[in-house]
Amino acid sequence: MKTYHDIATDGGSDVAGQVRAQEARLHSRLADVGHIVAVMSGKGGVGKSAVTVLLATALARSGIRTGIVDADINGASIVEMTGVGRKPDRTSKGVIPAVSAEGVQIMSIDLFLDRGTPVEWNAVTQKSAFTWRAMVEVAAIREMLADTLWGPLDILFVDLPPGTDRLPNLLDLVPELSVAIVVTIPSRASRYVVEKSILLARPHLGDAPIGIVENMSEFVCNSCGEVHEMFPGSEGVDFEQDAHLTILGRIPFDPELSKRIDSGKNYLGSGTSKSSGGVGVFSAEAAIQSIAENLNRLLASRTIPAPTMEEVR
């Protein structure tokens, strides 16, 4: 397969030169980013984007500078979940990211569209659009990374689309990935796809660790107050025996979390979190805070540690 650099002549458009310039700009933009963290899932519907927003917010509330790139071009949802305004300001040097009420910097294709407007891929036929859609998606992610004025950040989260093949595309773009977080739910089907995602990701990650977050692990009955499994009879996360994986934590289901994040309101510190009760079981907010701390400790073991929560307090 040929690359841009193998093109003998391009009619004077200098495609290879344009690509090199954008790659240089991307590396320059990310030079002041301490860590890049990919958030992925093998399948949709597991709450991956919500987990991304919650972790970035928890860390930002502790004084750690965080940002999110919504790399799910067709299913962008970070803007809705964070409640930021659309139409970001542009300067001659780049685009200024939106900023949530908690200080999380946001970049998404959704910022440039009217609310509810889908992304349409121009092509003679949709059949032909399918063949190059993935390439255009990667180009869009490259532009969001390269043309955004991030400034100094401790952690930049990249919320990837669902699927087992998305991580390699990101690794072709960023200088280095510190951690890959895989979000799952305690169902047999989700666990099966997550295992495939991990097998696919491992050869591309080098020594970057993989962290597991199990979402919607259980819930509290409003009537009796007892804790119940969200997916009775299904297998939960069982990756403890794998030395290359880190179990970051489990998040119980809380209807208030869904309600607030769907309306673009902050859940953490809102006073609406419900305790699951029982020994060793706590509220969704406490679980998210614990996962954020575990992630920060994992990042601290990397070459360029982000400040710990204790250091920024």
pLDDT of residue 262: 84
pLDDT in tens, 13-32: 666 677 677 778 888 888 89
- What integer pLDDT is reported at residue 305 of this predicted model? 43
pLDDT of residue 304: 46
Nearest by Cα to 68 from 78, 83, 58 = 78
SS3 107: strand
Distances in Å between the Cα of 42 and the Cα atoms of 74, 155, 179, 204, 232 are 16, 23, 16, 16, 21
CB 239 within 8 A of CB 212: yes
pLDDT of residue 278: 43
**pLDDT band for position 79 (50/70/90)?**
very high
Phi-psi region of 170 (alpha: psi -120 to 50; beta: other; left: phi over 0): alpha
Residue 100 has pLDDT above 90, yes or no: yes
Q: What percent of the chain has pLDDT over 90?
A: 32
Band (pLDDT 50/70/90 cuts) for residue 277 is very low
Looking at the predicted structure, is the pLDDT value of residue 239 above 70? no
Contacts of residue 127, defined as CB under 8 A and 6 or more positions apart, other chains included, come to none
- The first and second tokens of residue 181, run together, are 């977080």
For 32, which DSSP code? G
pLDDT in tens, 34-71: 999 999 987 788 899 999 999 999 999 999 999 999 99
Please choose, from the candidates 130, 33, 125, 81, the residue with its C-alpha nearest in 3D space to the C-alpha of residue 260: 81
> Hey, how many other C-beta atoms are within 10 angstroms of the C-beta on 265?
14
Give 257's pLDDT tier (boundaries 50, 70, 90).
Answer: confident
What is the pLDDT at residue 49?
94
Domains and CATH numbers, the chain: 16-305 (3.40.50.300)
What percent of the chain shows pLDDT beyond 70? 76
CA distance 249 to 213: 5
Question: What average pLDDT does the segment 180-195 reach?
Answer: 86
pLDDT the model gives residue 245 = 84
- The set of residues, in sequence order, having a beta carbon less than 8 Å from that of 204 and lying 6+ positions away, is 167, 168, 171
Residue type, position 210, single letter:
I
User: Which one is predicted more confidently, 58 or 280?
Assistant: 58
Distance CA 313, CA 310 (A): 5
Question: If you search the block for the tokens 């509290």, which residue do you land on?
Answer: 220
